[in-house]
Amino acid sequence: MALHYINGEFTKGSGTSTIDVLDPASEKVLDTVPRGTGEDAEAACKAAKTAFNSWKRTPANVRANLMHEAAAKMRAHKEKIVHLLTLEEGKPVPENEEEFEWVTNTFDYYAELGRHERGRVLPSGEYSQLNLVIKEPFGVALCIIPWNYPLLLMAWKVAPALAAGNTVIIKPSELTPLSTLYLAEHCFDHFPAGVINVLNGVGKDVAEPLVLHPDVPVIAFTGSLATGQRIASLAAPMMKKLHLELGGKDAFVIAEDADPDLAARALSYAALTNAGQVCTSTERVYLPRSKALQFTEALVAHVNSLRLGPGIEASTDMGPMIGSTYREKVEGHVAEAVSKGAKVLTGGRRPQQLERGYYYEPTVITNVNHSMLIMREETFGPAIPIMEYDSFDQAIELANDCIYGLGACLLTGDPMKAKIFLEEVKAGTIWINDPLTDNYAGPFGGMKLSGGARELGQEGLDEFRETKHVHWEFSTTPKSWWYPYGK
C-alpha cells in the first residue's frame, strides 16, 4: 500500500479507511492508499510550517540545485514514471512521455527563474533614501491537483512555489496519487523534511481542513468551477491568496481558407488528446457554412482512423476515460443534444469490442446550438460538437458566448482574421494554427469563470510571492514636516 509522505517520512496516518486506485483501461485495482483525515492534514501543515522557517532563508542557489537534482532523478526514473502514469491515468504512452518532459523541464525552468531576481530597486524621492520592492514567499502552499495531468499540473504549482521559497502540501487526486507518491519516494527525498508533503484522501476530509487552516495562506487548485467556488467561499473570510484554474469550454474556429485535411488533424488533436479530458480541450467547433460538408467529411474520416484501446499498448491513439461518472456525463450531453435535433456522424457510444474499461468512442456531432448542454457546459470527454457560421464576425460572437475563457483556437492563413481573433476573443490563451501548445515562459490561465490564475512564466512564479515595499532613509535627522506644525 502506498502511504502519505509527511515531514520526510512515509506514514499510514491516523485513519483506518483506504482508497483503491483503479486502472481505467481494465477497472482492476492497481494499489491502495490511506484515506487521510483532518489529523493527517494537521500533521502535514505543522511539518510544512516548521520547514518554512528555514526554507525561506535557504539561498536561491541552493534551492535551485535541489530542484535541478529532482529533475535529474526524474529522468533517471523516466520509464517507471511514464509506465505508472499510463496505468493510473489511462492516456497513451506518447502523451505521458510528453507530460513527463513538461514536468522535468518545469522544475529546471523555475530552478533558474527562482534565482534570477527577488524584486527591484525604485528611483527614490531623496538622495539619502533607498526604495526597494521585495517579493517574498507566503508560507505554506496547498496544491490541489486534478487527475487528468497528475504530474504536469503538480509541477506547474509546486516548482514555482518552491522556487519562491514556500513549502508545499500536495493533495493529489484520489484517482491518480501513485505517480506523485513515486516522485516523493525517489525524486523528492533529498529536500529538507517538511518542504514537500503529499497527503492522500478526498477533498472534504483533508483539503477542506487545510483550506480553512490559518497556517495555510495560499491555495492553488485546478479543477471544476463548482469546487473552485467552494474553495473561494471557504477562504474568503481569511483573505487567502487563491490560485484557481477552473476549466473551460474552448472554441475552435476554422476559417474558410483552411485546408480540410489539415483542419481534421488539428481539430482531432485539440479535441481528443487524453480522450478529451483536458481543460483546454476543444469543446465547441465553428465551421463556415459554405464549406461545412468538406470539413466534416474530412474530420469523420480522420476520427474513424483512430485506434481506441489501453494506453499502455503501442498501437493506441486514444485511451479510456478516467471513470464511469465522467463517461456518463459525456453520454448525457450527447443524448440531450440528439433529443434536441443534433446528429451523430460517428461514435456516440461505448465500443463493443472493449468489454472492460471506461471507454467511449470519439464522437462527431452536428446540428448543435447554444441551447444544448454540449455547447454550454464542460463535457470533458471525446466529443466534437460542430456548429456552422455565416460570417467571421459571427464566429467570434459565438466563441465569446460562453461563461468560460480559458483558451481558443483559430485555423487560418489570413493574418487579418488572426489579428481580429486574438484581439476580440476573450480567452487567456489564443492558439493560431498550432492548438494546445504551451511555452514554459508563456503564462497559462483563463478569463471569466475559468479563473484568473496564471501558471508558467514569470507570472507563474509571482503567483507564489507577495510584494513588499521598503522605504529606507539613511539620514536620522528630523523631517521638516513632522510635528509640531506651529513654529
Kindly write down the DSSP assignment for every residue of 34-82, as one continuous string: E---HHHHHHHHHHHHHHHHHHTTS-HHHHHHHHHHHHHHHHHTHHHHH
Helix (H, G, I), strand (E, B) or coil at 120: strand
Contact 450, 246 (CB under 8 A): yes
The residue with cell 506644525 is 485
Phi, psi for residue 208 in degrees, rounded to 5: -60, -45
Tally of CA atoms within 13 A in the half-sphere of 11 that contains its CB = 18
Catalytic residue among 88, 174, 245, 283: 245
Q: How far apart are CA 486 and CA 479, in angstroms?
A: 14
What's the CA gap between 224 and 450, in Å, rounded?
9
Handedness of CA 475, 480, 484, 487 (dihedral sign): positive
Residue keyed to cell 457560421: 389
User: Residue 19 corresponds to which cell in the numbers above?
Assistant: 482508497
pTM for this structure? 0.97
- φ, ψ of residue 393 to 5 degrees: the values are -60, -40
Specify the pLDDT at position 486. Answer: 84
Contact (CB, 8 A) for 131 and 121: yes
Instruction: Report CA-CA distances (Å) from 404 to 344, 366, 400, 474, 481.
Output: 25, 22, 9, 51, 52
Residue carrying the nine cell digits 487567502: 240
pLDDT at 269: 98
Report d(CA 96, CA 91) in Å as an integer: 7
Cβ contact 205:38 at 8 Å: yes
Query: How many Å apart are CA 123 and CA 125, to the nearest integer?
Result: 7
Residues in Cβ contact with 460 at an 8 Å cutoff, skipping those fewer than 6 apart: 110, 156, 160, 443, 444, 454
Are 31 and 187 in contact, with CB atoms under 8 Å apart? no
Give the DSSP per-residue string, 275-318: GG-STT-EEEEEEEGGGHHHHHHHHHHHHHTPPBS-TTSTT-SB
Residues 213 and 209: their CA atoms lie apart, in Å, by 6
Q: Are 376 and 249 a contacting pair, CB within 8 Å?
A: yes
Query: Which of 45, 187, 279, 402 is flagged as catalytic?
Result: 279
The pLDDT averaged over each successive group of 10 residues in the chain (487 residues) is 97 97 98 98 98 98 98 98 98 98 98 97 96 98 98 98 98 98 98 98 97 98 97 98 97 98 98 98 98 98 98 98 98 98 98 96 98 98 98 98 98 98 98 97 98 97 98 95 88
Structural domains of the chain sorted by starting position, each given as residue range(s) with its CATH number in brackets: 4-246+451-471 (3.40.605.10), 250-432 (3.40.309.10)
- pLDDT value, residue 291: 96
Pairing status of strand 363-366 against strand 343-346: antiparallel
CA distance 443 to 79: 29
Report how far residue 20's alpha carbon sits from residue 29's, in angstroms, rounded to the nearest whole number. 6
Measured CA to CA in angstroms, residue 42 lies from 139, 152, 201 at distances of: 15, 26, 14
Task: Reply yes or no on whether 187 is catalytic.
Answer: no
Residue 121 · residue 471 · CB < 8 Å: no
CA distance 185 to 324: 30
Peptide bond into 484 cis (omega under 30): yes
The verdict on whether 279 is a catalytic residue reads: yes
d(CA 68, CA 443): 22
Contact 436, 270 (CB under 8 A): yes
Grid cell in block for residue 234? 471557504
Residues 6 or more apart whose Cβ sits within 8 Å of residue 195: 48, 51, 55, 162, 167, 168
